[in-house]
Structure 1
């Protein structure tokens, strides 16, 4: 019987996506086994999962390429045997993050304690402002380094560096700042003050009133903020130079000036 984890050609008529799904499932089993049992050799993984060592190596190569696991020299206790010790594969930080974490619960519990202990919603808002203060410094540098009409785009790029996958696009009478990912969405769902303070920071950075149209925390697909177009300053008044009437010498009154003068001279008088 052929092993599920081994590289096989797709059976005639077998959908490629089903084969790919099976590959991902087996790869996840390899990573999960390392999570449950700690750094493991190819032989140990093959024995636990019922795969051939060749199949395990293939899946490990893919996991290493994705920065999910990394090889390292296995520690040897007692007398060394001949030959190099087998490499053990351990999860990277990125690999651990792929599994369920309780960071969101920890953050929500901490905010709930702050809210209960230090003054309700005002305390949560104060925390959110302090949290964003350091990030806002980098955002401000990015925004102030470009022309005013490119500031929303600069803010989007700065947000993307912090994991928000942000973009800027034109909208009627303004622009939209779209955040396609929110690292704190699950916590913000319970504490919308985080979104409120973020909107407040955007307004300060861009120097204009902004309006939050949608948030991932509220169940929308994208966090969307509307930035109105800055009003253009009125043009400085200039006295228009009256064109001379055709054939009139320079300095001679034009037709419009003559009409205006006539109107002004008859103002307040009854017609004959």
Structure 2
């Protein structure tokens, strides 16, 4: 009985590590230790196991090198993303292909718009309670997305204290329940981006998507009152 309990605990911890890599990746071992509250030894054991199973892979970290272990950060592999996707993803793909072949492309677009309309309705009160600040509304959107399993996070971009052109928030989604369907049906991503714009009250810009092979979906949310004159830098994969 004790061995069974230990196995369940280990399995749950492994799942936690996988989901944090999904949400925060690229993330270092030190970052995982801080986020999970585990020892470095425990985190390395789980990361090594996930890497051996092909669920995560190492990326060389940017910045100055230090002596000892090479600096590495971790991201999900394609197999890792699939491990977080339910069978409903495949069923949705079949349904949308049937819809497209029998009704047409307009039906797929209408479905995508209806899907995000439901999302907007669920999120609207939460964002309205956050007030008029775009940054605070973005934080509220992150909370709502996490409740729906999108492994979302947000961080400010631009120079500290900068409120001029180019200032904003980089909203990331490390997991998407319909990632593989969106690869074939980009209307899902386009409708979601438009919904974010309406919820946040600003024109947002999608910089990267899981559906296009990036390790995270990234959306730039401007917080300045003046529109940026240059396109925000696309995150490196």
Alignment match of 2:140 (pick from 154, 172, 183): 154
Distance across 2 between alignment mates of 1:130 and 1:58: 49
- In structure 2, the CA distance between the partners of 1:99 and 1:228, relative to structure 1 (3 Å rule), is closer
Higher radius of gyration, 1 or 2: 1
Aligned match of 1:171: 157
* CA shift for structure 1 position 64: 5.2
Aligned length: 146
CA RMSD of aligned residues (A): 2.4
| TM-score, structure 1 normalization | 0.49
Aligned match of 2:40: none
| Per-residue deviation, residues 194-248 of structure 1 (Å, max 9, x unmatched) | 100000100111111110000011111110000112417xxxxxxxxxxxxxxxx
Partner SS for 1:170 = strand
Alignment match of 2:210 (pick from 201, 209, 216): 216
Structure 2 portions without partners, runs of 5+: 13-82, 159-166, 227-237
| Per-residue deviation, residues 34-87 of structure 1 (Å, max 9, x unmatched) | xxxxxxxxxxxxxxxxxxxxxxx44532455568xxxxxxxxxxxxxxxxxxxx
Distance across 1 between alignment mates of 2:109 and 2:7: 41
Distance across 2 between alignment mates of 1:163 and 1:219: 19
Alignment match of 2:118 (pick from 134, 141, 146): 134
CA contact (8 A) 2:89 2:177 kept: no
| Per-residue deviation, residues 82-126 of structure 1 (Å, max 9, x unmatched) | xxxxxxxxxxxxxxxx79964322111100011111222x21111
Residues 57-136 of structure 1: pairs in structure 2 closer than 5 A: 57-62=1-6, 102-120=87-105, 122-136=106-120
Partner SS for 1:209 = coil
Structure 1 portions without partners, runs of 5+: 1-56, 68-97, 233-272
| Per-residue deviation, residues 143-165 of structure 1 (Å, max 9, x unmatched) | 11112221111101110000011
Q: Which has the higher contact order (CA 8 A, sep 6+)?
A: 2
